[in-house]
Chains A and B, each alone.
Chain A
Amino acid sequence: MSFAERMLKIDRRIIFLVIGFCTLLPLLYPVGLPIKISPEVRGVYDYIESLPEGSVFLLSLDFDPASKPELHPQAISLLRHAFRKNLRVIAMTLWVSGTGMADQVVTQVAREMGKESGKDYVFLGWSPGGTAVIINMGQDLYGAFPADYNGKPTKGLPVLQGIASLRDVSYAVSLGAGNPGVEAWYVFGKDKYKFELAGGCTGVMAPGLYPLLRSGQINGLIGGLRGAAEYETLIGQKGKAIAGMDAQSATHLAIIVLVIICNLFYFSLRKQATQQGHSGA
């Protein structure tokens, strides 16, 4: 068996180990590679920056713990930015399995920024119906969520003063890991009730959402951990996303090198087989 053949039949657990080390080492010894801001992430940041104090910012955390590494840093950055701008924050989720985690992240960032529940922000929790909840909110916010996550009646909450439906929302961002998520918020929300919308999503979903960005159906897109790192850079608060970027780059480099090596071995084997065929003939 030639060297190329042996390498192509290498135990895949060795590759797992290589990838593992390429991820672990930069996390232990960060280099601090520069992070370039993409226009789609800047679009979200700029729009929030342009909102006047007291504007209504709706954040829908449409994900569960399985997508936490990518979307949790995005949620933290967006909430920090919105609270810093003194926006009125309405947080909610369309995913029942993400309710507890969404409550935890909203409460944690609000406490860190000195914000009060009911006055500066409200976490509405989850309501059944998926996309129907968006339509319901577009007709009557209080009908969709009669009480917030802590059981307080939503009618009369100072943070919701002057808000009757989605039409009164200045800006909405859906952090989606699937359906219902960003697309549902566009189809049943923005397209019907005419508020500005942006999306945050897992890396897997990002290519599918770029057509919405190009056509102006959403005005910004935060894609995966990379997008979260860009947003952390924009607000000037380093978090878990920036910390993970070195590891991400190192792993990508390792994968590219492995793909190139694998192709080299493959073509060398093919050439060898062709030569043997010629000599045999």
Chain B
Amino acid sequence: MALETIIGAWVATGLTFFIFSFLYKDNPLFKLAENLYVGVSVGYTIVKTYDTVIVQLIWKPIVENGEWALLIPVAIGTLMLTRYVPKAAWLSRYAFAFIVGVGSGLAIPRTISSFILKQIEDTIRPLMMLVPGEGITFTWSLLNPASSLNTIIILIGVSSVLFYFFFSVEHTGPGKVVARTGILFLMIAFGAAFGYTVMARMSLLIGRLTDLIEFTDPSYGWPSLWLLGLTILTLVVMSRRSSSKQPKEE
């Protein structure tokens, strides 16, 4: 096995245990791993961005291919940096105006079309279907998202939730029933979302444990076992040191 793979396994295992040690209590090992994570992420992003943007998309096309038109976006981008010079900071407004203008122009119509109009179109479906030869039909399948029964459930859900957020009328009498129905639908939606969140978090734990099990292999040098022992030992030593310090302070 390649040396870099073995080193990678040891580093990954160690950092995983350091992060998991937070479950016991906050400690310097966790802080070390946390800071390393932030540092490596930022460092990686800076290097990749420099290489892709500055070198590949700006420097090389201008110097090697003579694409001088690229200097226009470079100039607009450079205006952003004038924020650091108080006297010239007003120039950055042109760059921001350009970004906000282009961004809004691109995003607003597309977002309205995709998330509002398309979703309204899908919500307002006919409650019954007219099938040629069969006449008006009503489908009862709960498993089919397009069934008539599900269309009615969606109609009730959307109307009652919208009513729940309609505060101009006091929720009393029949209004209370509708608002309560809205809360019921919201609770079901929150429950489903939370269930998926739990599943996702457990998947992350499974991912780390799968790697830790893989790294118990002798070909890696048993990093999982050694580093688990080392992490526990460090936590015990730290715990004892902090408990022996406390009485002195008193």
Contact = CB atoms under 8 A, between A and B. Distances in A.
Interface of A: 13, 16, 19-20, 23-24, 27-28, 68-70, 96-97, 99-100, 125-128, 131-132, 135, 146-147, 151, 183, 186-188, 191-192, 202-204, 206-208, 211, 213-217, 223-226, 240, 243-244, 247-248, 251-252, 255
Contacts of B193: 207-208
Nearest to B214: A240
A70 B196 CA distance: 12
A265 to B, nearest CB: 20
Nearest to A177: B200
B239 interface: no
A215 B49 contact: no
B129 interface: no
Contacts of B122: 211, 214-216
A207 B197 CA distance: 9
A126 B106 contact: no
Contacts of A127: 52, 57
A251 B198 CA distance: 10
B61 interface: yes
B202 A207 contact: no
B23 A206 contact: no
Contacts of B145: 213-214
A188 B102 CA distance: 14
Interface string B39-56: 001001100110011001
Nearest to A66: B204
B177 interface: no
Contacts of B208: 69
B142 interface: no
Interface string B15-51: 0000000011000000000000000010011001100
Interface residues of B, number: 43
Contacts of B196: 203-204, 206-207, 223-224
Interface stretch (B86-94, B113-121, B242-250): B113-121
Interface in B208-239: 208-210, 213
A187 B114 contact: yes
A234 B241 CA distance: 55
A191 B189 CA distance: 27
A23 B209 contact: yes
B210 A240 contact: yes
Of B53, B57, B207, chain A has the most CB atoms within 10 Å of the CB of: B207
Nearest to B194: A207
8 contacts: A23-B205, A27-B210, A69-B207, A203-B200, A215-B121, A216-B122, A225-B206, A244-B203
A68 B23 CA distance: 21
A259 B51 CA distance: 50
A74 B192 CA distance: 22
Contact of A248 (B111, B114, B121, B206): B206
A29 to B, nearest CB: 11
Contacts, number: 128
B83 interface: no
Contacts of B209: 23-24, 27, 247
A152 B53 CA distance: 16
Contact of B118 (A69, A97, A99, A215): A215
B200 A125 contact: no
Contacts of B45: 96-97
B110 interface: yes
Nearest to A215: B122
Contact of B56 (A147, A213, A224): A147
B218 to A, nearest CB: 17
A125 B115 CA distance: 29
B199 interface: yes
Given A96-B52, A213-B145, A252-B199, 19 more contacts: A13-B24, A19-B205, A24-B209, A68-B207, A69-B204, A70-B200, A70-B203, A100-B44, A125-B52, A128-B52, A146-B56, A186-B114, A187-B110, A192-B110, A203-B196, A207-B192, A208-B193, A216-B122, A244-B203
Contacts of A69: 203-204, 206-208, 210
Nearest to B49: A96
B213 A23 contact: no
A75 to B, nearest CB: 14
A143 B45 CA distance: 23
Contact of B189 (A131, A207, A244, A252): A207
A97 to B, nearest CB: 6
Contact of B48 (A96, A151, A191): A96
Contacts of B56: 146-147, 151
Contacts of A125: 52
Contacts of B205: 19-20, 23, 251
